[in-house]
A and B are shown apart, each in its own frame.
Chain A
């Protein structure tokens, strides 16, 4: 099990815009470099990318929730 962390504090999103599909669904294949989450802070949206490949497990943080720097927001199954 690999976790993916937010590099910055802010507000976490599971999709690129309201109404869009989630970046990943449980069971989706993940390739290193895939965008798996979005964090908003200081009027900037930061795409967080997977650093390793795997199978998407689940989001650990709800869409629109506050997130801290270094907080895990998703799990990959190896």
Chain B
């Protein structure tokens, strides 16, 4: 059971739900940037939710199937085609041995997730098949997929095609996208005017936006409360004595362009972080194209936890819908 990659797309990688537990050693959590979409894709083809699939960015791969399989594509609206015939998204469809999966142009969103019945069966690294190219870990030889790759699949009893998740059980960012942020340990480093301006300004996704972090531009430079920099911190007011970074934390080097750290981010460093995007909104970031307008919204812990509960409920609703 395997897939043959004819064309890889722009940056297609094998991802599951990641490898938590090693961030303190500098190894990122990794995994799908839109975890909801990967979970749903797997459910549609009868896989465990955490099975490995393909994360496709902006431009789809071309893949030939060596065996019959069920496939579902979720996340971004990147229409899948079987031997040139367009298939619906968020729906399980069948591909026969010898047929080719390709994609139309991206319509909306940024990352599509391809789940294949049986799941991708490359060797796990530190408990996960997720690809972390900078660390040459996971995936196929620790890198993104390339033309000519043969990707092994797990064995499975195929379920019936046709399972479908309707639009009200999907989630894509609005325009402008709204990302909710919980201010953090270094919030006091900003002047009151900068604290207010950060949430009032119009931002847009910059071109430097990938699995490590998403950069935003367009807002006013942030002003810092004056202080004598502590020993060990750099001279720039956005520098701190090295600290830990969390998944979702927002650093603003030089006070200029905020960067939200994502699944493949470093775990620590010397930039202040003004807070973190709440866990409920991290999946949305994976669906933002460059130039998308973005507003940041300040929330407190209570609102963040309520949003997390709402996301869990939506996942439970999908599970219930699919039986």
Say whether B207 contacts A11, CB under 8 Å: yes
Chain A CB count within 10 A is highest, among B10, B11, B104, for: B10
Say whether B105 contacts A41, CB under 8 Å: no
Say whether B57 contacts A9, CB under 8 Å: no
Say whether B291 contacts A8, CB under 8 Å: no
Q: Nearest Cβ distance between residue B86 and chain A, in whole angstroms?
A: 14
Say whether B105 contacts A44, CB under 8 Å: no
Say whether B207 contacts A7, CB under 8 Å: no
Q: Nearest Cβ distance between residue A37 and chain B, in whole angstroms?
A: 15
Q: Assuming A9-B290, A10-B290, A69-B107, what are 8 further A-B pairs, CB within 8 angstroms? A: A5-B105, A9-B106, A10-B207, A41-B290, A42-B207, A43-B208, A46-B10, A66-B291
Interface presence of B190 (CB below 8 A): no
Q: How many residues of B contact A (CB 8 A)?
A: 17
Interface presence of A47 (CB below 8 A): no
Say whether B107 contacts A70, CB under 8 Å: yes
Q: Which residues of A contact B208 (CB under 8 A)?
A: 42-43
Interface presence of A54 (CB below 8 A): no
Neighbour of A7 across the interface among B105, B210, B289, CB < 8 A: B105
Say whether B107 contacts A41, CB under 8 Å: no
CB-defined A-B contacts under 8 Å, sample of 24: A5-B105, A7-B10, A7-B59, A8-B58, A8-B59, A9-B110, A9-B291, A10-B207, A10-B290, A41-B58, A41-B207, A41-B290, A42-B11, A42-B207, A42-B208, A42-B209, A68-B289, A69-B58, A69-B59, A69-B105, A69-B106, A69-B289, A70-B105, A70-B106
Q: Which residues of B contact A42 (CB under 8 A)?
A: 10-11, 57, 207-210
Mostly, the B contact residues are loop
Say whether A8 contacts B10, CB under 8 Å: yes
- Which residue of chain A has the shortest Cβ distance to B58 in the bound complex? A8
- Which residue of chain A has the shortest Cβ distance to B10 in the bound complex? A8
- Which residue of chain A has the shortest Cβ distance to B291 in the bound complex? A66
Say whether A43 contacts B106, CB under 8 Å: no
Say whether B290 contacts A11, CB under 8 Å: yes
- Which residue of chain B has the shortest Cβ distance to A40 in the bound complex? B207
What does the 1/0 interface line of A1-43 toward B look like (CB < 8 Å)?
Answer: 0000101111100000000000000000000000000001111
In the bound complex, CA of A41 to CA of B290 (Å): 8
Q: Which residues of B contact A69 (CB under 8 A)?
A: 58-59, 105-107, 289
Q: Which residues of A contact B58 (CB under 8 A)?
A: 7-9, 41, 69
Contact-size category for A: 10 to 19
Q: Which residues of A contact B107 (CB under 8 A)?
A: 69-70
Q: Which residues of A contact B11 (CB under 8 A)?
A: 42, 44
What does the 1/0 interface line of B1-45 toward A look like (CB < 8 Å)?
Answer: 000000000110000000000000000000000000000000000
- Which residue of chain A has the shortest Cβ distance to B78 in the bound complex? A69
**Which residues 30-69 of B have a CB within 8 angstroms of A?**
57-59
Say whether A44 contacts B10, CB under 8 Å: yes
In the bound complex, CA of A17 to CA of B58 (Å): 23
Say whether A66 contacts B59, CB under 8 Å: no
In the bound complex, CA of A74 to CA of B58 (Å): 20
In the bound complex, CA of A7 to CA of B11 (Å): 13
Q: Which residues of A contact B210 (CB under 8 A)?
A: 42-43
Q: Which residues of B contact A11 (CB under 8 A)?
A: 207, 290
Q: Which residues of B contact A9 (CB under 8 A)?
A: 58, 106, 110, 289-291
- If the complex has contacts A7-B59, A66-B290, A69-B58, are A43 and B105 also in contact, measured as CB distance less than 8 A? no
Q: Which residues of A contact B59 (CB under 8 A)?
A: 7-8, 69
Q: Which residues of A contact B106 (CB under 8 A)?
A: 8-9, 69-70
Q: Nearest Cβ distance between residue A72 and chain B, in whole angstroms?
A: 11
- Which residue of chain B has the shortest Cβ distance to A6 in the bound complex? B105
In the bound complex, CA of A40 to CA of B105 (Å): 17
In the bound complex, CA of A48 to CA of B262 (Å): 29
